[in-house]
A and B are shown apart, each in its own frame.
Chain A
Amino acid sequence: MTAGKENVDSGIPLLTVENLQVEFDTYGGTVQAVRGVSFSVDQRQTLAIVGESGCGKSVTVQSIMGLIPTPPGRITAGSARLRGHETLGRSTVGGKQIRGAEIGMIFQDPMTSLNPTMTIGDQIAEPLQVHRGYSASDAFTEAIRLIELCKIPEAAKRARQYPFEFSGGMLQRAMIAMVLSCKPSVLIADEPTTALDVTIQAQILDLMQELQKETGMAIILITHDLGVVARMADEVAVMYAGKVVEYGSADDVFYHSAHPYTVGLKEAMPMNDPARQHVLKPIDGSPPDLFAPPAGCGYCPRCPYAMQICSERQPQGHNLHGHHFASCWLHHAKSGRKPETIFFKDAR
C-alpha cells in the first residue's frame, strides 16, 4: 500500500469532484441526498468512501457516471472533471465514452446486477462491441480471455452460461472482467464485497489490486467496512448525511481521526488488530431526515461531543495538516476542547 501521490502528466488529478449536490423529488418532498461533496483521485490510487448506508455514497458516484434517474433525481450544483474535462451532463470526454470506456463500475449485488437472460460471455463482450466496434464473435473470444484473466476456471464453458449458474464470487469476477474489457482509467466499485463471504471478499479485493497494478487505473471503493478500507485505501472520504465530514490519507483518517463520526465508526467496527481490541460500541440513533436537513451539524443528535452551536449552525471545514480535512465545530478556534485531547488519547 504505497501512497504514490504523483500527478503523472499534467499536474491535475485524474478525477476531481467539487461541491456536488444532488436532490430527489419524492412524494414525501425533496430529498437532499448529496449536499456538497468534493474529493479527487489519481492514477494508481485508491480512494475509499465510507459511511452508513443511506448517506449518499452511491448517489455521489452514480452522478459522476450519469446514472442518476432523472426525474426524480437532479444534480443541482457542482462539477466532476476527468483530466480537467467536465463529465456531468455529458456522455463523452475527448471523444471517448465516459461510461464503460473511461469509467467502469461494479455494483454491490452481483446476483441482480447481471442480465438473467443473457449469457455471461455476451454480457462481457457487449462493451467491446459498443465501444471498440468488435464483431460479435471477436468480442466473445476476447470475453473468454478476460474471464480467464479474472481467474474463473473453464472460461470457454463458463462464457456460455447464464448468471444463475454462477456463484456470487464468480459473478463479481465476471463483473470485473466486463468492466475491464475496455480498460477504463477509473474503476468505481460500489460495495463490491458486501454481499459476499469473507474469504471470497479477500479474493475479489486481491484481484482488484492486482489489476490496478497492471493497468494503472484509479479505484473509487465504496464500503462501510473499515477493514476493507485499511487494506485497500490510499485516501479516505468519510461521508455522513450527504456530506464529506472527514477527508485525508488513510493514515491520517485512521490514526489521527478528526471527526466524532469517524471515531464512532471505528468503535463500531471489529478490527483485526489484536493490539487494539476494544468493546464494540454501535452508534445510537439514525441519520437525519434528508427531507429537511438540520440547521446545524447533521451528526449533532448522535454526537457525544455535541455543543450548543452544533445544533444551530453548519460546521465549517477545517484543514488540519496537509490535505487532511474535517468538518466539525470542535476544530473551531473558540472551541475549548481539542479533538486530539478527547479522541484516542493513546493514538499519538
Chain B
Amino acid sequence: MNDLTASSFAPLSDQQHGEAIARPSLSYWQDAWNRLRANKRALVSLYIIIGLMLFTVFGPVVWPIDPAIQDIDQISQPPGTDRTAILVSDYEPWFGTPGLPGTGLRLAERATSQAVRLQWDALDGANGHRLYRNLFPIGPELSYGIPMAEFLNNDTLYFEDRLDLQPGRFYYVVVALDERGLTTDRYQFISVDIDRVTTLAEALERGLIDESDSVQIGDAIALALHPLGTDYLGRDLLARLMAGARVSLFIGIGAPFLFVLFGVVYGSAAGFMGGRVDQLMMRFADFVVALPFLLFMILFKIAFGIGPGESGVFPMLVALVVLLWPSTARLVRGQILQIREQGYIRASQLLGAGTPYLIMRHMIPNTLGVILVTVTFAIPSAIFTEAFLSFIGMGVAPPTPSWGSMSNEGIKTMLTTPHELFFPALFISVTVLAFNLLGDGLRDALDARMRNVE
C-alpha cells in the first residue's frame, strides 16, 4: 500500500471513463455467423454441402463419362481400379475331355468368363444328374442354387456353362437323380474362380484395342475404368451418381425454395389483409395441411402423368410445392401479426412508408432467420420424399437417374453386389445428415433467445 501516491487518487479523466463504458456490439447476423462458426458440426456440414454442390456441378467436367453408356464387360462390378481381361482365342465347342485326370466334379480347363467346362464321375447309384450353379456355398437349407442342366442317364458326365458369367467365385453342385428323376441326397460340389477373358474380335469391337496394337493371346487388356463400379446394366456408378445428384438436389433444394417463396407471399398477403380474407385464406391452408402428404404426392404424380421421354422431375416439384406451402404461410402470417402488434409498422406508416418498403424494412429481417431455418430443414425432407417416391416406382422415370431410383435398383441385388445400393444410399444419408445438422446449427445460431446465454 505504500506505493500509493496522491496521483493514484486523482479523478479519472472523461476519456478514460468513456473507454471503460463502451463495449463492442455485434450485429444480429454477424453474431449468428460467429455462433455458427463455433459449432463444429454445423460447419463441417456446410463444407459437405458445398462439396456436394461442387461434385454435382463440376463432377461431370472431371469425369465426363456418359451415365447411360453400358459396359457389358463389366456388369455389377464392385468399385476397383485397372481391371484387365486376358485375350483368348475364339470360342470353340467342347463335348467333354475323355480321360481327364482327377475324380469327382472337376474343371476340364481354366474357368473363364467365356465358358466354364465341368466334368464329373457318375455318383453312387445315380440314374442321372442335375447340375446347379450358385453364388453362395450350400447353406443350412441345402439350397443348391439355379438348376443349369439335367441328364436323365449316366451317358453325359460333362457340362459347359456359358450363361451370363461374371468374374468372381461361383459354386457348382452336381446332384444324383433316382430312377424317377427325383433328386437324392447324394451330391458333390466345387467352387470355381472365373477369370475375365475377351477375344480379339470382341476387344476390337468394344474399342479396348485398335487395329494397330500388337497383342497376342494371353496378353492382359485394360478395361474401362469405373472407380465406384458399375450397376446391373454396366453403367458407370460415379457418372450416374453425379447425374442423380443433379436430379435429387434440384428437387431437394428447388422445391423448398419454391414452396417457401409461395408460403411467404401467401402468408404475408393474409397477414396484411387481415380480417375475413385472412380467416378464409388460413382456413384453406388448414385443409391443405390435412391432406395426407405422401398419398397426395403419389396422386398428383399420377394426375400429371409422365409422357414418353419425360423424366417426371417437374411434376414432382409442382406436387411438393402444392402440398408443402401452408406451414411457411402460417409461420410468416404469425410473424407479421406479431410484428404488427408490436407497432413497428404503425410507427413507420405514420412516416408515410409504402407497404413494399415496410415488408423490406421490417418483415424480412425479422422473419428471414426463421425462414432460412425452415428451408434448411425442408431440404432433407424433400430429398427423402424424392427417394421414397422413386423407390416405390412413382418418382423419376428411368433412365434418368436419381439417388432414389438408383437405390431402388440397387436393393434388388443387395445380397450379391451391395455397392449398387450402398453408394446412392450413402449419398442420400450424408446429404440429409448435413442439411439436418446445418439446420440445427442455424436454428441455434439465429435463436435470439439464446443470444446472451451460453
Does any Cβ of B come within 8 Å of A160's Cβ?
A: no
- Chain A residue nearest to B35 (CB atoms) is A27
Name B397-436 residues within 8 Å CB distance of A. Answer: none
Given contacts A28-B454, A309-B4, A335 and B12 within 8 Å (CB-CB): no
Contacts of B8 on A, CB cut-off 8 Å? 307-309, 312, 334
B12 touches which of A27, A28, A289, A311 (Cβ 8 Å): A311
- Chain B residue nearest to A337 (CB atoms) is B9
Contact A307 B10 (CB under 8 A): yes
Does any Cβ of B come within 8 Å of A306's Cβ?
A: yes
The distance in angstroms between the C-alpha atoms of A329 and B4, with both chains bound, is 11
Name A1-56 residues within 8 Å CB distance of B. Answer: 26-28
Contact A300 B20 (CB under 8 A): yes
Contact A27 B454 (CB under 8 A): yes
A301 touches which of B4, B9, B20, B454 (Cβ 8 Å): B20
Name B149-165 residues within 8 Å CB distance of A. Answer: none
Does any Cβ of A come within 8 Å of B38's Cβ?
A: yes
Minimum CB–CB distance from B241 to chain A (whole Å) comes to: 38
Given contacts A26-B454, A28-B454, A332-B4, A307 and B11 within 8 Å (CB-CB): yes
Does any Cβ of B come within 8 Å of A139's Cβ?
A: no
Contacts of B11 on A, CB cut-off 8 Å? 305-308
Given contacts A28-B454, A311-B16, A334 and B21 within 8 Å (CB-CB): no
Does any Cβ of A come within 8 Å of B7's Cβ?
A: yes
The distance in angstroms between the C-alpha atoms of A307 and B13, with both chains bound, is 9
Interface size class of A (residues with CB under 8 A): 20 to 34
The distance in angstroms between the C-alpha atoms of A345 and B160, with both chains bound, is 118
Interface of A is mostly: loop
Does any Cβ of A come within 8 Å of B17's Cβ?
A: yes
Interface size class of B (residues with CB under 8 A): 10 to 19
A334 touches which of B6, B23, B38 (Cβ 8 Å): B6
Contact B4 A336 (CB under 8 A): no
Contact B9 A311 (CB under 8 A): no
Does any Cβ of B come within 8 Å of A322's Cβ?
A: no
Contact A311 B7 (CB under 8 A): no
Mask for B150-184, Cβ within 8 A of A = 1, else 0? 00000000000000000000000000000000000
The distance in angstroms between the C-alpha atoms of A335 and B21, with both chains bound, is 24
Contact A285 B21 (CB under 8 A): yes
Minimum CB–CB distance from A183 to chain B (whole Å) comes to: 37
The distance in angstroms between the C-alpha atoms of A70 and B20, with both chains bound, is 33
Does any Cβ of B come within 8 Å of A310's Cβ?
A: yes
Minimum CB–CB distance from A290 to chain B (whole Å) comes to: 12
Q: Given contacts A286-B23, A336-B6, A336-B9, list 16 more A-B pairs with CB under 8 A.
A: A26-B453, A26-B454, A28-B454, A300-B20, A301-B20, A305-B11, A307-B8, A307-B12, A308-B9, A309-B4, A309-B8, A309-B9, A312-B8, A332-B4, A332-B9, A334-B6
Can you give 10 contacting A-B residue pairs, CB < 8 Å? A26-B453, A300-B12, A301-B17, A308-B10, A308-B12, A309-B9, A311-B16, A329-B9, A334-B6, A336-B9
